[in-house]
Amino acid sequence: MKSTARKVEKTFCTTREAGQLLGVSVGTAQLWVENGLLSAWKTPGGHRRVTRESVEKLLRSKSEAPPAAPAARREVIRRLKVLVVEDDTNLLRLYETTLALWPMSPEVIVATNGINALLLIERENPDLLIVDLKIPGIDGFEMLKILQSTPRYAHMALAVVSGLDADEIARRGGVPPGVFVLPKPVPFTRLLGIAMDIEERKLATVGGEAA
């Protein structure tokens, strides 16, 4: 006699299964868990279990690309360029692998200190800067002041991702107006929203010029 019991869909998976679903290595999946990009818990035996909901949410963010611009417009729009400044090399790797999933496939440049970041900004002219406030050399506070006082960088969107709370940031002089201030763990969905706004403005500018 055949069983009539309904098959119960698993609401969780292993990090290996999550990596296979997302097309990344087990190590990257584990890193995403540690940084909060994937939701997970540990079994009594110490094994991670990742919620399928968080995996599916990440897959949706990868597939939900904005409407493609006409070919003629795409040719004149420079590929989105993002500079990430962070002295934690594991977190830098997380940025690189996560931003690679963004629908606009940005060019990602990284720096581990403020001095190298300023040199890269001069050379690469990024569209979006994502910076931690506590970095070696010139810290994020000083970097932002320099950039805000330089008219040629007025087009660049500035986002701070920091473990410092609002009171501590204020005690250390705060950040200039117009800078996005986001908490750690890294809120990748919010950063993606900022990046998509930049893309839309670039498309609108090209459309206005062509009109």
Residue 20: what pLDDT?
86
Task: Give the C-alpha separation, 145 to 158, whole Å.
Answer: 11
Residue 206: what pLDDT?
65
| Distances in whole angstroms, Cα of residue 24 to Cα of each of 20, 73, 183 | 6, 32, 25
- Using one digit for the tens of pLDDT, what is the confidence trace for 127-174? 999 999 999 988 999 999 988 888 888 889 999 999 999 999 999 999
Task: Give the C-alpha separation, 104 to 199, whole Å.
Answer: 8
Residue 34: what pLDDT?
75
Edge-to-edge order in the sheet of strand 81-85: 107-111, 81-85, 128-131, 157-162, 180-183
Calculate the average pLDDT of the chain.
Answer: 83
Higher pLDDT pick, 151 / 85: 85
Residue ranges of domains in the chain, CATH in brackets: 12-62 (1.10.1660.10), 68-210 (3.40.50.2300)
Higher pLDDT pick, 80 / 68: 80
- Using one digit for the tens of pLDDT, what is the confidence trace for 30-76? 777 876 778 888 888 888 899 998 888 777 755 544 444 444 444 45
Amino acid identity at 145: K
Residue 207: what pLDDT?
61
Residue 46: what pLDDT?
84
Of all residues in the chain, the percent with pLDDT exceeding 90 is 47
Q: What are phi and psi of 191, to 5 degrees?
A: -65, -40
202 pLDDT more than 90? no
Summarize the confidence of residues 10-20 as an average pLDDT: 87
84 pLDDT more than 70? yes
182 pLDDT more than 90? yes
31-45, 83-97, 187-201, range with the lowest pLDDT: 31-45
